[in-house]
Each structure stands twice: as C-alpha cells, then as structure tokens.
Amino acid sequence: MVQTRKNAARRVAERGVRTPKMYFNHETARFYDLTGADVTDEALAAIVRRTPTRKVPEPALHPTHDPVNHPAHYTQGSVECIDAIESALALTGFIAFLRGQVLKYAWRVGAKGDPLEDAKKGAWYQARLVHALAKVDALSDVAEREDRP
C-alpha cells in the first residue's frame, strides 16, 4: 500500500501537475486532503489516470549535431576525434584506419541500428579515405619533381 502511494506521488510529480486539493506526507507516505482526511487509493488512481502527460523536450546533444558527418560525442572542445586520430597515426596509419572503418560499416549495414545511417557513415569514411589517398598521390608527385635534375 505504501509503495503504491509513493508510485502515485511520483507519477503525479513526473507529469508536472500540482493539485491544491491534497498534500503528501513523506513520513507516513500518505496523501491527505486539506481537511486532513486520508485520500483513498481509488481517488489517487483516478487523479493519475486523468492527469495529462507533459512532454519534456529532450536537450539537443550539440546545436550542430550530425550523427554521420560530425557526431557531437566525438568532439572535445574544438577538436574532433577523427582529426586527433589523423594527427597521431600519420598518413599511412590513418589510411589503414580509414580502410578498417569503411570495412566495418559496410559489414554491419542492416545488422545493427539504422542501415541507412551505417551506409552513410561508411560512405563518409570512404570519402575521407579518397582524400587521404589524394594527399599521398600529391606528396609523391612533389617528391618525384624534387628528384628530377
């Protein structure tokens, strides 16, 4: 009985409704009306049933949150995790990492979560891989030109 009353109090509080017709005594875990009379469980159930559910907006993870191109949970301050990985691994290590990511997202399409989002993530890593390979190509062109007499 006490647990039912506590649950009713919690549900009324969660829904954001305050009723001036009764109060909750935490020591006795009971509701009382303004005259001091005990409020019955049936009356509490009726209040909970007719209390409208208040929708509380969920806070945005990040104002520019994009789960494919810039997931907010991969950014610390102004540094995105992918940029830190690129700096730490150098170009050849970063290319190997990107190849692994492309394979991972292609492998799991349809097996976990939203398949379209996984395909987009795989495409994002593929585009990043192409960009990294273009850097290697450009660097090798520069090196060849420097080696020419």
Q: Is residue 138 part of a domain?
A: yes
Q: Is residue 55 part of a domain?
A: no
Angle, in degrees to the nearest 10, between helices 2-14 and 41-50: 20
Domain that holds residue 102: 72-147
pLDDT in tens, 19-63: 546 666 667 767 666 666 777 777 766 666 665 555 555 544 445
pLDDT higher than 80, residue 79? yes
C-alpha 52/C-alpha 33 separation (Å) is 21
Q: Is residue 122 part of a domain?
A: yes
- Mean local confidence (pLDDT), 2-27: 58
State which H helix or E strand residue 2 sits in: helix 2-14
Looking at the 3D structure of the chain, how many domains does it have?
Answer: 2
